Amino acid sequence: MPASMRRMTSSSTSNSGWYSSRDATLPIGDRTMSTSSWTTVGQPDTASDEGLFFTSLNSLAPVTVVLLHVGMSSHLEWSHTWPELTEYHLLIPDLPQHSRSRHVKPFSFGLAADHVAQMIRDHAHDGHAHMVGLSTGGFIAMEVIKRYPEVVTSAFLSGATPLKDMWKRINSQPKLAFLGLSVLLHSPKSLLFKATGWAPEFQNDELLKEIRRNNTSRLYETCTRETNNWDRSDMVDVGKRDKRIALVAGGKQDNVEGMRDMGQLLESLGSNDGRESRAFVVRDAIHAWNLQFPVLFARGIRAWIEKTPLPEAFEPLEKGVMLEEESSS
């Protein structure tokens, strides 16, 4: 594993308009400091072409958070979420074989975890970070926990649980699924938004361009295979690392019951921090709901990190408590 990672700054991160105007302060030693004091973009550093591309924001903030995107996407996926997290130092990479990390290949959860862990060691404050991952990014965050638990403080993960049999059957025909996604990505935007649930007000032409470029048959099939191979035994390995993990299901598209089961599994395997692991559902959320409700997504991240109550939209998936849709089916 290379000791240095490639650090660059995308043009979108240099626009001060991305940042939240929320007035917030955090304690620093015996005083408080406004979060606006560290709302800065890291300087470009292209010393190595071997590691992941990533954007570093708010580098003076004392706590590091890593944001990991969905498969076929890029770090730009988080462009409406990161302005709401200005009190944290953010590391936001492109995953292997995606966008500006296209040179890091072949893609696998293991390779991604190796590189993300090295990025944390080299660039996160004190060599550890809170992990945030969505879908593919969530699985990779858990792979980091399995392999390198020492670099992870806690995790906030959405849409990442072992697949149900129905989805495994769909994923067993990756070429057909890839074709369907390709057609959708090149359809009129009105159809794309309706099919995916991506809120039009958060539409990003640059992100859509990156998704189209990343969506190759080889990468799609690899991501599908890696997801299909993730099973309960992997979740057991994660639970044994005793990390405090929030598992969140998008109520409209995710496996809610599976998320409930995995949340209980992680809690049962924990001995200290892991005992605080919990599962939640956001009823109206799609799978990639950082592109639907980015402010709510950010509020959930902040509450989990700070150990404060999550927003009301996050309904705990507790044993014996069923959603209305489940009880009526």
Q: What is the pLDDT of residues 308-323, one digit of tens each?
A: 999 999 999 986 555 5
Give the pLDDT confidence score for residue 199 in this predicted structure. 75
Apex 326 CA angle, 228 and 315, nearest 5? 85
Check whether the bond before 188 is cis (ω within 30° of 0). Answer: no
Q: Convert the pLDDT of each residue in 274-285 to its tens digit.
A: 999 999 999 999
Q: State both tokens at 227.
A: 């997801």
In contact, 235 and 262? CB cutoff 8 Å: yes
The most distant pair of C-alpha atoms in the chain lies apart, rounded to whole Å, by 59
Give the pLDDT confidence score for residue 239 in this predicted structure. 98
pLDDT band at 169; cut points 50, 70, 90 = low
CA of residue 320 relative to chain centroid, distance? 28
Q: How far apart are CA 280 and CA 154, in angstroms?
A: 16
CATH code that applies to domain 22-161+232-328? 3.40.50.1820
What angle separates helix 232-240 from helix 256-269, to the nearest 10 degrees?
A: 40
Check whether the bond before 106 is cis (ω within 30° of 0). Answer: yes
> Rounded to two decimals, what is the model's pTM?
0.81
Give the pLDDT confidence score for residue 1 in this predicted structure. 40
Give the pLDDT confidence score for residue 201 in this predicted structure. 77
Give Cβ neighbours of residue 23 (< 8 Å, ≥ 6 apart): 34, 36
Could you identify the residue written with the tokens 């997801």? 227
Q: Which of 12-26, 111-125, 152-166, 274-288 has the lowest average pLDDT? A: 12-26
- Write down how long the chain is: 329
Give the pLDDT confidence score for residue 192 in this predicted structure. 62
Q: How far apart are CA 15 and CA 285, in angstroms?
A: 28
Give the pLDDT confidence score for residue 58 in this predicted structure. 97
Give the pLDDT confidence score for residue 16 in this predicted structure. 26
Q: Of 251, 306, 257, whose CA–CA distance to 281 is shortest?
A: 251
What Rg, from alpha-carbon coordinates, does the chain have? 19
Q: State both tokens at 119.
A: 């990025």
> What is the pLDDT of the chain when averaged over all its residues?
82
CB atoms within 10 A of CB 254: 23
Please check the confidence at residue 301 and state whether its pLDDT lies above 90: yes
Which three-class secondary structure state does DSSP give residue 34? strand
| Domain segments of the chain as ranges | 22-161+232-328
Q: Are strands 89-93 and 64-68 parallel, antiparallel or unpaired?
A: parallel
CB atoms within 10 A of CB 216: 14
